[in-house]
Amino acid sequence: MVSGRRAALTYALSAPFVVFALFPFAWMLVTSIKKNSELYDLAQNPFLVRAGPTWDHYRFLFQHTAFPLWLRNSAIVAIASTAASVVLASLAAHALARLRFRYAEGVSTFVFIVYLMPTTLLFLPLARVVSALHLSNTLWSLIVTYPAFMVPFITWMLAAYLSSIPRDLEESALVDGCTRLGALWRVVVPLARPGLITATLFAFTLAWSEFIYALTFISTTSVKTVTAGVVVDLIRGDVFYWGSLMGGALVASLPVVLLFSLFLDYYVAGLTAGAVKG
């Protein structure tokens, strides 16, 4: 039983953290629905929308900029690289968690070390690899390179998850005449579904939010993803553009934030699996 006073104290203590975390997003919303005349009037209280809300900034964003294209590009890149990464990582995680082979420990340490390798260390040489593969300035440059940082992370997460599923189940399937892949597909995949959902969500979130590769490998406006497009191509000259910039930032954050609110528990489980379970 939680007493009322204790709950009130908890809310009071959480409030500063919640406000700190959410204020920038609330500010995106307020800025994006205000008329320019009010937005750039220093005499006005910035928290109020006195002149009434306007859709002008969103209309500008969707009709006069490449923003819809960027959203589409981000969706293509995130979905394709997530699909590829989840398949590769599931196979690798299964091998690491189950099969006894000589270099298993070495390989899992290697995967972990690559997981810790920051993308900012690799963007320059990768740009040359991408251009050697004739992929510069295409969405493929991102679809191909994103799995390099997504796969180690979700392999690590899935291996921890898979090792909690009893191996007897899989072995009985093998005894009953299943192939290794058959056992993986019919026995392990259904049991590992929560882990796989978490892995997919994380992979998608990482891919949707990636910035430095998108910034480096792609220079044509119409091929950009939304993270690089909004930051680089919407900021033009001295025109006051904050309304549509904030609208763009908000709309582009929505897909992952929505997924997050729908699958909150999966995200929390995945976030903590890395550090606590190993």
Partner 1 sequence: MLAPTLLLLLLLAVYPLLYALYLSMTSTQVGTPGRFVGLANFVRLPQTQIFALTLWNTVWYTVAAVAAKLVLGLALALVLAQRAPGMRWIRGAVLVPWVAPISLSVLAWTWMFDLSFSVINWVLMHLHLVPGPIAWLGAPRLARCAVVLVNVWSGLPFFGITFLAGLVTVPQELYEAATVDGVGAMGRFWAITLPLLRPVLATVLLFSLVMTSSDFATVFVLTHGGPMNTTQLLATLAFKLGLATGDLGNAAAISLYLFPALACMTYVQARLMRRAWQW
Q: Interface residues for partner 1 in 242-261 (CB under 8 A)?
A: 242, 245-246, 248-249, 252-253, 256-257, 260-261
Contact with partner 1 (CB under 8 A): which of 86, 89, 196, 199? 89
**Looking at beta carbons only, is 69 or 114 nearer to partner 1?**
114
User: Smallest gap, in angstroms, from Cβ of residue 119 to partner 1?
Assistant: 8
Phi, psi at residue 41, to the nearest 5°?
Answer: -110, 110
Q: Which stretch binds partner 1 (CB under 8 A): 54-62, 149-157, 166-174, 190-198?
A: 149-157
CA distance 148 to 160: 19
Positive/negative CA dihedral, 89, 203, 110, 162: negative
Residue type (1 letter), 186: R
CB of 228 to partner 1, least distance (A): 7
Residue with tokens 């070495």: 106
31 belongs to the binding site for partner 1 (CB under 8 A): yes
Q: Does 57 bind partner 1 (CB under 8 A)?
A: no
13 binds partner 1 (CB under 8 A): yes
Residue 135 lies near partner 1 (rule: CB under 8 A): no
Q: In 2-73, at which residue ranges do the beta strands (DSSP E only) sit?
A: none
Measured CA to CA, the distance from residue 258 to residue 64 in angstroms comes to 26
Q: Is 134 left (phi over 0), alpha (psi -120 to 50) or beta?
A: left
Residues 171-210 that bind partner 1 (CB under 8 A): 205, 208-209
Is 51 near partner 1 (CB under 8 A)?
no
Percent composition of the chain: helix, strand, coil (DSSP 3-state, to 5): 75, 0, 25
For partner 1, the binding residue among 86, 141, 147, 200 (CB under 8 A) is: 147
Closer residue to partner 1 (CB): 126 or 139: 126
CA distance 155 to 93: 5
Q: Is 48 near partner 1 (CB under 8 A)?
A: no
Q: Which stretch binds partner 1 (CB under 8 A): 59-67, 134-142, 146-154, 188-196?
A: 146-154
Count of residues interacting with partner 1 (CB under 8 A): 91
| Separation CA 90–CA 196 (nearest Å) | 8
What DSSP string runs through 196-264? HHHHHHHHHHHHHH--HHHHHH--SGGG--HHHIIIIIS--TTS--HHHHHHHHHHHHHHHHHHHHHTH
Residue in the block written with tokens 């002149």: 51
Q: Which of 52, 63, 100, 124 binds partner 1 (CB under 8 A)?
A: 124
Closest contact distance (angstroms) between CB of 226 and partner 1 is 8
By CB under 8 A, tell whether 73 contacts partner 1: no
Kindly report the CA angle at 111 between 169 and 90, in degrees rounded to 5? 35
106 binds partner 1 (CB under 8 A): no
Q: How far is the CB of 149 from partner 1 (least distance, A)?
A: 8
Consecutive H or E run containing 56: helix 56-64
Q: Would you count residue 276 as binding partner 1 (CB under 8 A)?
A: yes
Residues 209-228 that bind partner 1 (CB under 8 A): 209, 211-212, 215-216, 226-228
